[in-house]
Structure formats: C-alpha cells, structure tokens
Amino acid sequence: MTDLFKTKPIPPLAEALRPNTLDEVIGQRHLLGPGKPLRVAFESGRPHSMLLWGPPGVGKTTLARLTANAFDCAFIAISAVFAGVKEIRAAMEEAQHTLNQHRRRTLLFVDEIHRFNKAQQDALLPFVESGLVTFIGATTENPSFEVNSALLSRAQVYVLESLNEEEMRELLKRAQSKVLGDLTFEEAAVDTLIGYADGDARRFLNLLEQAASAAQASNSLLVDSSLVENALSMNARRFDKGGDNFYDQISALHKSVRGSNPDAALYWLTRMLDG
C-alpha cells in the first residue's frame, strides 16, 4: 500500500476541492445558511452586483464563480493589480459581444478592487449601471474607504469571515475523502496546521499539500507533529529580496502591529530577521 501511495502525485488541493455548488462551500454560514442574505440572493433567480470583503482564503473568488454558474453568466476575471482602464474596456467589449451573439450576460469579477484608482473604478460605472455586466469585486480592505461611493452605492457589500477550527477540520475531512486517501493525521499535527493557517482555507490546503508531500517522501501514511514541524520549519526559512515572500511577510508584520497582536508581530519580525 505504501509503494502505491508513493507513486501517486498529490494534485493541487485548492483546485481539486473547489466547490461546484453553494452547498459545498465550507464556512460563511452567516451569508449562505438557510434564509441568509447570499442564499436568498441565489434563490431569487436574479444576480446583482456585490462587493465581497474579507481576509484572504475565505472563498471570494469561489463565490464569484458560483454566482456566474448559478445564473448561467459568462465569467470574466481581472486583477486590479495588473489591469487598468484598457483591460476594463476590453472586458466590456467582450461582454457586449457575448450579449449580442449569444444573448448571454456576463459576470465581471475584479479581484483586489481596492487597488484600482478613482479613474479605473469610474470606468466600471456606466457598464454596471446599464446592466451590461453583473459586477463582483473582492477586497481585503474596508470598501467604505477604498471603493468610490458611486460604485459602492451600486453594489451590495457582504462581509466574509475567516474559517474557524471546526470548518478547517471539515476541510481536512473533505481533502482526505477526495484526494489524500489513506493518509492519516495525528491530532497534534492537525492542531499545528490549523494554527499556522489562521483561518485562511487556501493557506491550510497549501500546508496540507506540504505535509502530504513530506509524508510521501518519507514513504509514510501518517502525518505526525514531528513531520509537520519539519516540513513547516523548512518552509518558514524561505525568503527573498523584494519578492513575494518578502512582501507577504512584511504585510503580515504590519497587520499584526495594526491589530495589536504582539505575539504575532514578534513571530513575523523573527521570521524576517532569520531570513
């Protein structure tokens, strides 16, 4: 059995476990439970523009894709990090073409909408107002401060929450049943992984992949606390000069200080000094 396990690569968990229906979404019960706002919106049969505000890894992109599927909309995704007015206009032309040729409306998903400046956000307004596209923006920042009032008034704001420990464990069970198979996790190892993930489902799945790969490399079907600590400590030492790791870690340090969390601030400062 162990040899068989060794020959099978671990597929990307985030993609393998991406929900296909609203009922498969883990977390956000305050929005998706029976009678709750987003559930009611889905059941209404009429999509509307919205802003999804929440920390990373809570399902903002997934909810946008599910909305497009539920209402049979074409789906266009752009990132405010890389896109500008030119990309917005191109997306609107594509949406108009889809409507003219296929009588099908488009859902435009803008990730990190808070990174658009005023002119870029204003470029969306006439198309959202005319109904050419249903607009969904995702942001980790407070929309009241980062999104133009004109655009804000045309979109319903939904606040998403970090996953709690119970939801993380549910995510682990789904990963085991769908992908990880016979791989088992020691309780202390699960606690460590959940602690490192800090409510971020995407980070949790990445940590599971690291742990599964470490177990695979050691020809083991058990992930214990020792294996997890070794796998994560190797990852913790990764660093770079002005690259993704640098900015991710300095961002975590800033958020820890702003959130008045001295333990977290000291942790991220130590990580950076060590790197």
Structure tokens at 213: 């790969």
Structure tokens at 98: 């889809």
pLDDT at residue 118 in the model:
92
Task: Note whether residue 94 is domain-resident.
Answer: yes
Task: Note whether residue 17 is domain-resident.
Answer: no
End-of-domain residue from the set 159, 191, 219: 159
Q: Is the CA virtual torsion 64, 69, 70, 75 positive or negative?
A: positive
Task: Note whether residue 249 is domain-resident.
Answer: yes
pLDDT at residue 10 in the model:
63
Structure tokens at 56: 């990373």
Q: Where residue 231 sits, what CATH number does that domain have?
A: 1.10.8.60
End-of-domain residue from the set 102, 137, 159: 159
Q: Are residues 232 and 248 part of one domain? A: no
Calculate ∠ Cα 79-84-88, nearest 5°: 80
Q: Are residues 223 and 115 part of one domain? A: no
d(CA 4, CA 6): 5
Reading the chain (275 residues) residue by residue, the pLDDT tens digits are 444 444 466 668 888 899 999 999 999 999 999 999 999 989 888 889 999 999 989 999 999 999 999 999 999 999 998 989 999 999 999 999 999 999 999 999 999 999 999 999 999 999 999 999 999 999 988 999 899 999 999 999 999 999 999 999 999 999 999 888 888 999 999 998 998 888 899 989 989 988 888 888 888 888 988 888 877 765 545 555 665 567 778 888 888 898 888 998 898 888 778 76
Q: Are residues 148 and 32 part of one domain? A: yes
Q: What is the pTM of this model?
A: 0.80
CB 171 within 8 A of CB 26: yes
Give the count of domains, the chain.
Answer: 3
pLDDT at residue 244 in the model:
58
- The values of phi and psi at residue 12, to 5°, are -60, 115
Q: Are residues 117 and 78 part of one domain? A: yes
Task: Note whether residue 101 is domain-resident.
Answer: yes
Residue 202's contacts (CB-CB under 8 Å, 6 or more residues apart) are 14, 56, 57
Q: What is the DSSP letter of 185?
A: E
pLDDT at residue 11 in the model:
65
Q: Which residue's entry shows tokens 């702003």?
A: 258
Structure tokens at 207: 């940590």
Could you tell me which of 92, 95, 141 has the C-alpha nearest to residue 120?
Answer: 92
DSSP string, 218-238: TT-SEE-HHHHHHHHHHHHT-
Q: Where residue 86 sits, what CATH number does that domain have?
A: 3.40.50.300
Q: Are residues 172 and 104 part of one domain? A: no
d(CA 151, CA 12): 35
Q: Is the CA virtual torsion 212, 218, 222, 227 positive or negative?
A: negative
CB 109 within 8 A of CB 136: yes
Task: Note whether residue 19 is domain-resident.
Answer: no
Q: Are residues 155 and 46 part of one domain? A: yes
141 is in which domain, residue-wise?
Answer: 28-159
Q: Are residues 148 and 37 part of one domain? A: yes
Q: How many Cβ atoms are within 10 Å of 151's Cβ, its own excluded?
A: 22
Task: Note whether residue 2 is domain-resident.
Answer: no
Task: Note whether residue 135 is domain-resident.
Answer: yes
Q: Are residues 211 and 113 part of one domain? A: no
